[in-house]
Amino acid sequence: MRRVVMLVDNAVEGDSRVQKAARSAADAGWHVTLIGCAHVDAERRWRLGDAEVRVLPLAAVAASGRDAGSRDGSGLRGVSGLRGVSGLRARLVARGGLPLRAARLARRPVEHAEVRFWRARLRDGAWRRLEPGLWDYERVAGPVVDDLRPDLIHAHDFRMLGVAARAVDRARAAGRDVKLVWDAHEWLPGARPRRDNARWLPAHLGYVREYVGHADAVVTVSDTLADLLVRDHALPERPTVILNAPIAATTETSAPDLRKRCGLPPDTPLLVYSGAMAVQRGVDTVVEALPLLPGVHLAVVVADPAAAYVRQVVARAARHGVGDRVHVLPYVPHRQLVAFLATADIGLIPLHHWPNHEIALITKFFEYAHARLPIVVSDVRTMAETVRATGQGEVFRARDAADLARAVRAVLADPARYRAAYEGEDSPLPGWTWEAQAERLDALYRRLLTPIR
């Protein structure tokens, strides 16, 4: 049995794409170990079907300190003048002499100077100075990957690409032929930086450029993103598109009922938003639309109902006088999610315009569709075009609460019209299943690992 190691830069439990990929590959006969890296206290292990999951702790690495120059051989230790300014800024903030927002503005010229300096010296390798924390993933996961002696490494998202590429190089140096698949979950140039500094994006772009050439194949989440990756990296082969589609044939015999958990009778209109919460996700627009939709309720299904931003949204609803119509609920296991959502009336995707929001059919799009929910989506390009083509919902202007309310009223006036898009020979649902995507992934693995005669 050929061994596949999957790598991801999170704790696995909240990442349905990664879980589905690991489990379906194991179901297809591969010996799968899924390795996550996260800030956990100790290593965690469990199984997803026949796949083994190991989540390795980053905390010990962070606590032990870093020597960012120890792995690149450059001997460069930074720019003393830049470090002096940074140290002064930190001392002023600590003493209350420089407000945090002013400190953020003050540091920008320093950060941009750091980026220019290190890119001039190290080119794409500048990430070693601008984002040295990327080495933490190597220190934690690299030795484990080597011990597992995989035949193929599947690196999810951008942070694990370098970890996988270096593991492949070590294996090949030892005489073993290991293949590398990079799974690009998002378009990095269009990503919202994970930290508020000028170093994050150029560092990670350089990191990806350094290692993308090591990949034997690339997979990604949409046709649009596949085309962007070909353009950005001059890929010799177009990436295989693996949609973030849900599992159609769930093994769960029962699932909780969203409407019952909200305490609502069948005739109460219920909107649902399921997924990560952040300003750019647009849930504020939904809250602002609720006063224009008397009697309509909103269910928000999130990983952490007590998170700070979720509390802000709830407070905003209270200020608008609709607090009693907003229900915050925790995630359910991804194999239960479609059935859980099915008792709502409309699935919401109120995204703001942002490059990565324009280019993909996101996971919740497919989850709503398989729950047979009409979808109300903002006018982000790919999803708006799809909804208009299929007739499965309505499109509204992003960040426009009045137009969102109009779209909701249109769907509630004739829901059967929109649900009909999921029925009959023209239904898109058969192709929007994880089972169909898993067949593509399995075929790719087999092609890469079949000897050329």
Rg (CA), the chain: 24
pLDDT given for residue 229 in this prediction: 97
Alpha carbons 394 and 400: distance in angstroms, whole number: 14
Residue type, 223: D
The H-or-E segment that residue 54 falls in is strand 51-57
pLDDT given for residue 247 in this prediction: 87
Both tokens assigned to 296:
């309509």
Please give the chain's pLDDT, 453 residues, in tens: 899 999 999 999 989 899 999 999 999 999 999 999 999 999 999 999 999 999 999 975 554 444 444 444 343 444 444 444 445 445 544 555 545 555 555 567 888 888 899 999 999 999 999 999 999 999 999 999 999 999 999 999 999 999 999 999 999 999 999 999 999 999 999 887 777 788 999 999 999 999 999 999 999 999 999 999 999 999 999 999 999 998 886 545 578 999 999 999 999 999 999 999 999 999 999 999 999 999 999 999 999 999 999 999 999 999 999 999 999 999 998 789 999 999 999 999 999 999 889 998 999 999 999 999 999 999 999 999 999 999 999 999 999 999 999 999 999 999 999 999 999 999 999 999 999 999 999 999 999 999 766
Cβ–Cβ under 8 Å, residues 202 and 119: yes
Cβ–Cβ under 8 Å, residues 372 and 419: yes
β-pairing verdict for 44-48 and 51-57: antiparallel
β-pairing verdict for 44-48 and 375-378: unpaired
Q: Which residues contact 348 (CB under 8 A, 6 or more apart)?
A: 271, 272, 273, 286, 298, 375, 376, 377
